[in-house]
A and B are shown apart, each in its own frame.
Chain A
Amino acid sequence: MDVRTHMSMIFHLDKCIGCHTCSVACKNLWTDRKGAEYMWWNNVETRPGTGYPTQWENQEHFRGGWEKKKGKLDLKLHSRLEGIFKLFYNPSLPDLRDYYEPFTFDYQNLFNSPKKNVQPIAEPISMITGDPIDIETGPNWDDDLGGSNIYAKNDLNLEGLPQEVREQMNELERLVFNYLPRICNHCLNPACVAACPSGAIYKRDEDGVVLVNENDCRAWRMCVAACPYKKVYYNWNTGKSEKCILCFPRMETGQAPACAHSCVGRIRYMGVLLYDADQIPKAAEVSDDELIAAHREMILDPFDPKVIAAAKENGIGDDWIESAQNSPAYKFVKEWEIALPLHPEFRTMVMMYYIPPLSPVVSVTEKSLFRLDLMQEDYDFELFDRLDAARLPIKYLANLFSAGDEGIIRTVLRKLLAVRIYMRRKTVHGKVDSVSRKTLAEAGLTEEQAIDMYKMTTLPTMEERFVFPNYHREMSIEAMLDPLTHKGEVGLGYIQQPKRGE
């Protein structure tokens, strides 16, 4: 057992209102620079939809992630030798137009325009060439466009859904969509690291953050193509790859990453997960239907004395173990088993998890629409037993979060519904009846767990949502350096300006 630690984020999709505050916080902090305008290290997608960059899940086109070749796990992008030959031109690299052309507006024209009979306008101009452009797309162009013919209908996760269900999802009265915030998944088996010919990308041992060493990056841009989530970006100005750094300078000082900290719906949780690195190769190779089980198996119980002993042998301090015991991530992923990885079939072993959305709370019956949040208890139970009637099809969620396995999604949704039913009895009726207890039992939860889940979902404090260990930066390599080395710098500023090379 090779115990290691990882900082994991949980996205509670039921609570996401799609406001993009996370994206804006990230943009202001990290990517508000020349060459990085088009990058959204954090973005929010409307689902069903085509996402950003457009159809990023289409791995036949972009060739991201891993696949089994002759029984061995290999990069879908290239073999090592192919990688060298594709340095000059990489056919799988997304084009700028797959993201969008960054634009601004010519505001000066409002002031400098000569006197005319018409109002001056601020024309849209490209942030790359400075020429006027027609804005055709943007990072969230499909925002809230559930049911649209160009966005929702082209979502690859609709594969395997019966035609009538697909059509139903596009009917005006029955439109359905949910939000999917995405950051870098800081995978355990990252394809970007494996694809980088220069070896410039690496994973930090302590917290698992995957980082690009920009001094080593040589712009071969294989990482951009190899990441199945398209979360490594190429800075066209500096000629270096960039990606989400999980706000490690904030985490090291005990603050949540900007996206999580600014979240209006408080959908994000963060905490330490202990995992067994010895199990990664096996867990990445199992067949599709065993992926989630193998992934959960790999996450270790921080209360198990054997795990604690092995962790200490690996140099993991008591405070990290204690932090792992208080981690909300552990509760959601392992204890309650309601948080799932996004697209586990890409086999990069992601470490950010999603609680699939139960909402929209309106579902369809034969007669008419009916609402789950009304006080008619029968409906609750009807949906509990007939999850297939849910407006967001189970199969769709399964394609997103469980490699197509509907059983796993059903189990998760039944747990979430059971807690909702139980708490409604408790708070509205003032007492818990046998029926709601039975529902809980059927979903595989105890009353204690239900109350914990309810509290962690609806009432957590900031300290309960974000549990950070002490990073002990005083122990790090910087402590050995001359403190004046970095004098005059601000934060993690560069010793040399990140200027484009000649």
Chain B
Amino acid sequence: MDWNQFFFVVFPYISLALFVAVTIYRLVYRPFTQSSLSSQLLERKRLYWGSIPFHHGITWILLFHLLALLFPKAILVMNATPLRLYLLELSGFALGLWALVGVVVLIWRRLTTPYIKAVTSTMDIIVLLLTLVSVITGVLTASLYRFGSVWFTGVFTPYLWSVLLFQPRPELVEPLPWLIQLHLINNFIILAVFPFSRLVHILALPLDYLIRPWQLVIGMRDRKNS
């Protein structure tokens, strides 16, 4: 087995298997451990400059990645006009930089604030470093190998689908430059680490809050009048 085979066929399946199985186990049988583990109570000034840029930046970028995976044609149609292509690329690049600023501030905060050190685990640092590598390789790819939003749909969309549909086609990503390959591998590492880390809080995004009733009452009485 050569390295390409390992990184682009075997490892994706290992990380996907871990991601799915362990995440489900953790959410169902260890619900107490799922938490965003906010440290705003202990330190808030640096968090402001780290958390807001990072989360807003990374959320939109992940959303764009997801859109390119699900609706590649729509992205291509949108990019048909150069102006729209430039706008998409530029905003993606800006969001990436924003997230980069955020993650750097978050790492600095975690390593230097005594209050934050008190609640820092090894996994927290691993997660932050993996995120840093992802964001840096992502931003570099966006600036060195233009235009990502065009070739993503031709390379990554079919590759990711081939993995998801159990017909892996590693030949699609093998010829890519090492920087882009690193971005891909690093993200599979993140996927593998996901269920063992605080990253599971992403799945707790409480969108049902938008529609649920204000008040929640739980009881065992059989009420007739309400």
Name A's B-contacting residues (CB within 8 A): 1-4, 80-81, 83-84, 87-90, 93-96, 128-131, 189-190, 193-194, 196-199, 201-206, 214-221, 234, 236-240, 277-278, 310, 313-316, 475-477, 494, 496, 498-502
Known: A83-B209, A84-B210, A310-B225. A239 touches B38 (CB 8 A): yes
A194-B214, A236-B42 known; A128 vs B209 contact (CB < 8 Å): no
Please indicate the chain B residues that have their CB under 8 angstroms from the CB of A502 in the complex. Answer: 33, 121, 123-124, 196-198
**B117, CB-defined interface residue at 8 Å:** yes
Inter-subunit contact B36/A239 (CB<8 Å): yes
**CB distance B204 to A218 under 8 Å?**
yes
A sample of 18 more A-B contacts (CB under 8 A), given A310-B225, A314-B221, A500-B119, is A84-B207, A87-B206, A88-B55, A95-B41, A128-B118, A129-B118, A131-B114, A194-B214, A197-B206, A198-B204, A199-B209, A199-B212, A203-B216, A205-B220, A219-B38, A238-B32, A315-B222, A502-B124
Q: Which residues of A contact B207 (CB under 8 A)?
A: 84
A205→B217 contact, CB < 8 A? yes
Contacts A193-B216, A220-B206 given; indicate if A501 touches B222 (C-beta within 8 A). no
Q: Interface of B with A (CB < 8 Å)?
A: 30-42, 44, 47-48, 51-52, 54-56, 114-115, 117-119, 121, 123-124, 196-198, 200-201, 204-210, 212, 214-226
Are A496 and B30 in contact, with the CB atoms below 8 A?
yes
Chain B residues with Cβ below 8 Å from A206 are 219-221
Q: How many A-B residue pairs have CB under 8 A?
A: 168
* Cα A214 to Cα B51 with chains together (Å): 24
- In the complex, which residues of chain A have a beta carbon less than 8 angstroms from the beta carbon of B37? 219, 239, 500-501
Q: CA separation between A172 and B209, bound complex, in Å?
A: 53
Q: Are A93 and B47 in contact (CB under 8 A)?
A: no
B residues in contact with A96, CB < 8 Å: 41-42, 115
A316-B222 Cα distance, complex, nearest whole Å = 9
A236 in contact with B41 given A81-B210, A88-B52, A202-B218 (CB within 8 Å): yes
Q: Evaluate contact between B35 and A239: CB separation under 8 angstroms.
A: yes
Nearest residue (CB) in A for B200 is A501
Q: A179 to chain B: closest CB distance in Å? A: 27
The residues of B that contact A316 with a CB separation of less than 8 Å are: 221
Tell me, in angstroms, the Cα distance from A501 to B39 when the chains sit together.
Answer: 13
Residues of B within 8 A of A237 (CB): 119
Contact A89 B212 (CB under 8 A): no
Which listed residue (A89, A189, A214) contacts B32, Cβ 8 A? A214
Q: How far is the CB of A310 from chain B (nearest CB, A)?
A: 6
A314–B223 contact, CB under 8 A? yes
Question: Please, how many angstroms separate the alpha-carbon atoms of A4 and B224 in the complex?
Answer: 11
B124 CB contacts on chain A under 8 angstroms:
502
- Set of chain A residues within 8 Å of B223, measured between Cβ atoms: 2, 4, 205, 314-315
Find B215's partner among A190, A221, A236, A314 (CB 8 Å cutoff). Answer: A190
Q: Which of B39, B40, B121, B218 contacts A205 (CB 8 A)?
A: B218
Closest CB in chain B relative to A307 CB, distance in Å: 12
Q: How far is the CA of A3 from the CA of B222 in the complex (A)?
A: 12
* CB-CB nearest in chain A for B206: A197
Q: Which residues of B contact A197 (CB under 8 A)?
A: 206, 209
Question: Are A205 and B219 closer than 8 Å at their CB atoms?
Answer: yes
- Identify the closest chain A residue to B124 (Cβ): A502
Contact status B40-A217, CB under 8 Å: no
Query: What are 25 A-B residue pairs whose CB atoms fall within 8 Å in the complex?
Result: A2-B225, A87-B206, A88-B54, A88-B56, A89-B47, A89-B51, A93-B44, A95-B41, A128-B42, A128-B118, A129-B117, A189-B215, A202-B216, A205-B219, A205-B223, A219-B201, A236-B39, A236-B42, A236-B119, A310-B225, A313-B224, A314-B226, A476-B220, A500-B121, A502-B123
A residues less than 8 Å from B115 (CB atoms)? 96, 128-129
Chain B residues within an 8 Å CB radius of A196: 209
- A93 engages B40 (CB within 8 Å): yes
CB within 8 Å for A215 and B32 given contacts A84-B210, A88-B52: yes
Partner of B221, one of A89, A131, A315: A315
* Bound-complex Cα distance A128 to B217 (A): 35
